[in-house]
Amino acid sequence: MIVKMHKKATQQDYEHLIKALEAKKFKIRDVSSDTVKIFGVIGDTASLDIHDVKAYEGVEQVIRVQSPFKQASRTFKEEDTIITINKDLMIGGNHPVMIAGPCSVESEAQLDLTAKFLSEQGVKVLRGGAFKPRTSPYTFQGLEVEGLKIMRRVADKYGMSVISEIPSAEHLEVFNTYTDIIQVGARNMQNFDLLKALGKAKRPIMLKRGLSATIEEWLMSAEYIIHHGNAEVILAERGIRTFETYTRNTLDISSVLAVKHLSHLPIIIDPSHAAGRWHMIEDLSKAALAVGAHGLMVEVHHNPETALSDGAQSLKFDTFESMMTQLHHLSNALNRPLK
């Protein structure tokens, strides 16, 4: 960490700051030039909050050179993390993975129809919301535990794995029982109690990027889960809030490159919640594969017009099928065949 002092800072300010940092076991190097007073802070500065250092009298600027996330960082672990799901599916390697299913589990018949179709398309991971984090309390809230049980039964029938969103820490046991991957929704990305609890989960975690989260905040949330005991974290970019209203969110495609540079964790793209419009899903999925995402998560519904949530962004079966043909061509050409 580099601390640049203000021109008007006094010798007393320097000494006060140095004393405080040395008391926290950091080593201080004076790297000043003729005109500016600069201190280098050496040690495990991940534990230092940049704003706390800025609060000292005479400090003008503080620059981090070491990332505040440690275990999630590429410096900590150079090689890519590959997460194995149900012994045979790997997320994070050279084969991007397709995760698909309805926004919400609506009934056993609906999910059975969808899973049958998706498994015939080669999809190995079934998504579906059982606890739905809806903006309005008056809209469909999900089938809750019954929805998870339906997912498990249907996924087992078609040899698929289950991913579903956990609403809070108290549901951990039930998610350990019925799911294969536990999803943390965008709205819960900084629910630190939940993240801590997921450190004890027996399942890999898919951590969605918060609506207005920076990449650093997102990786810090991953750090919470790893620090509390669970190193199996998959990141999911699902679009962020910008001034644009045409799309539901703005897909930050460059976050894949940033995350792959900063971290060893796998990253997938959810174009459905990013765009909010079904006609954009195929091309955004192609972009996701081209930029090197480790997978995709796409919403599919047998009849989007009657879907209980997110119909406008859900693909019909025939559109999904033709998209898969295109994605296989592209992923083969990229030498990263889709699984």
* β-pairing verdict for 38-42 and 2-5: antiparallel
With 0-12 CB in 10 A as exposed, 13-18 as middle and 19+ as buried, what is 52?
A: exposed
Tell me which residues touch Mn ion (CB under 5 A): 103, 310
As measured in angstroms, the least distance from the Cβ of 314 to Mn ion is 8
Q: Does 336 bind ligand PEP (CB under 6 A)?
A: no
From 32, 52, 133, 283, residue interacting with ligand PEP (rule: CB under 6 A): 133
As measured in angstroms, the least distance from the Cβ of 330 to Mn ion is 25
Q: Does 238 bind ligand PEP (CB under 6 A)?
A: yes
From 171, 260, 273, 286, residue interacting with ligand PEP (rule: CB under 6 A): 273
Distance CA 23, CA 33 (A): 25
Closest CA to 124 of 95, 158, 154: 158
Q: Which amino acid appears at position 58 of this protein?
A: G
As measured in angstroms, the least distance from the Cβ of 171 to ligand PEP is 15
Q: Which amino acid appears at position 227 of this protein?
A: H
Q: x/- site string to ligand PEP, residues 184 to 203, per CB under 6 A?
A: -xxx----------------
Query: Which DSSP symbol is given to 250?
Result: B
Q: Within a 10 A sphere around the Cβ of 302, how many other Cβ atoms?
A: 17
Q: Does 103 bind ligand PEP (CB under 6 A)?
A: yes
Q: Which residue's CB comes closest to ligand PEP?
A: 185
Which one of ligand PEP, Mn ion, none is in contact with 208 (Cβ closer than 5 to 8 A by kind)?
ligand PEP
Nearer to ligand PEP, 105 or 172 (CB): 105
Q: Which amino acid appears at position 86 of this protein?
A: N
How open is the CA angle 336-236-48, to the nearest 5 degrees?
120
Q: Are 267 and 252 in contact (CB under 8 A)?
A: no
Q: Does 248 bind ligand PEP (CB under 6 A)?
A: no
Q: What percent helix, strand, coil does the chain show, rounded to 5?
A: 40, 20, 40
Q: Does 208 bind ligand PEP (CB under 6 A)?
A: yes
Which range binds ligand PEP by CB under 6 A, 38-46, 74-82, 180-188, 277-285?
180-188
Which one of ligand PEP, Mn ion, none is in contact with 248 (Cβ closer than 5 to 8 A by kind)?
none
As measured in angstroms, the least distance from the Cβ of 100 to ligand PEP is 11
Q: Which residue's CB comes closest to Mn ion?
A: 103
Q: Are 37 and 11 in contact (CB under 8 A)?
A: no
Closest CA to 39 of 30, 52, 48, 27: 30
Given the rule CB under 6 A, which residues bind ligand PEP?
A: 103, 129, 133, 165, 185-187, 208, 238, 273
